[in-house]
Amino acid sequence: MTRLAVFGDLLDVTAPCPADADLDTPPPTVRWRPKHWLLIENGRIQAIQPDAPDASWPRDERPGRLILPGFIDTHVHAPQLDVIASYGTELLDWLNRYTFPAEKAWADPAVAAAGSTRFLDQLLAHGTTAALVFPTVHKCSVDALFGAAEARGMRLITGKCLMDRHAPDGLRDTVQEAERDSIDLIQRWHGQGRNAYAHTVRFAPTSSEAQLDMAGDLLAAHPGSYLQTHVAENRAEVEWVRQLFPSARSYLGVYERHRLLGPNSTLAHGIWLDENDRAALRSTGAVIAHSPTSNLFLGSGLFDWRGRAAEGVRLSIASDVGGGVSLSMQRTLAAAYQVAALQGQRLDAFTLLHAATAGNAESLNLGHEIGRLEPGLMADLCCWRWADEGSVLAHRLSIARSLHERLFAWLMLGDERLLEGVWVAGRPI
Summarize as ranges the residues that interact with ligand GUN (CB under 6 A): 77, 91, 95, 99, 202-203, 230, 233, 294, 320, 323
Sheet strand arrangement including 381-384 = 44-49, 30-41, 3-13, 59-69, 381-384, 419-424, 427-428
Q: Is 320 in the site for Zn ion (CB under 5 A)?
A: yes
Closer by beta carbon to ligand GUN, 46 or else 319: 319
Instruction: Please measure the distance between the N-terminal and C-terminal CA atoms of the chain and give it in whole angstroms.
Output: 19
User: In the complex, what is the shortest distance from the CB of residue 291 to Zn ion, in angstroms, rounded to a whole number?
Assistant: 7
User: In the complex, what is the shortest distance from the CB of residue 147 to ligand GUN, in angstroms, rounded to a whole number?
Assistant: 22
Residue 2 — φ and ψ, nearest 5°?
Answer: -105, 140
Q: Is 232 in the site for Zn ion (CB under 5 A)?
A: no
Of 55-63, 138-146, 302-310, 317-325: span binding Zn ion (CB under 5 A): 317-325
| DSSP per-residue codes, 305-362 | HHHHHHTT-EEEE---BTTBS-S-HHHHHHHHHHHHHTTT----HHHHHHIIIIIHHH
Q: Is 73 in the site for Zn ion (CB under 5 A)?
A: no
User: In the complex, what is the shortest distance from the CB of residue 91 to ligand GUN, in angstroms, rounded to a whole number?
Assistant: 6
Closer by beta carbon to Zn ion, 12 or else 320: 320
Please, what is the Cα angle at 119 between 72 and 202, to 5 degrees? Answer: 75
Closer by beta carbon to Zn ion, 173 or else 320: 320
- Residue 91's binding partner out of ligand GUN, Zn ion, none, with CB under 5 to 8 Å set by partner kind: ligand GUN
Peptide bond between residue 322 and the one before it cis (omega within 30 degrees of 0): yes
Separation CA 143–CA 192 (nearest Å): 12
Query: Is residue 372 helix, strand or coil?
Result: coil
Chain positions 267 to 296 lying near Zn ion, rule: CB under 5 A, are 268
By beta carbon distance, the residue nearest ligand GUN is 323
Closer by beta carbon to ligand GUN, 83 or else 366: 83
Of 38-46, 138-146, 265-273, 329-337: span binding Zn ion (CB under 5 A): 265-273
Give me the residues that bind Zn ion (CB under 5 A), please.
268, 320
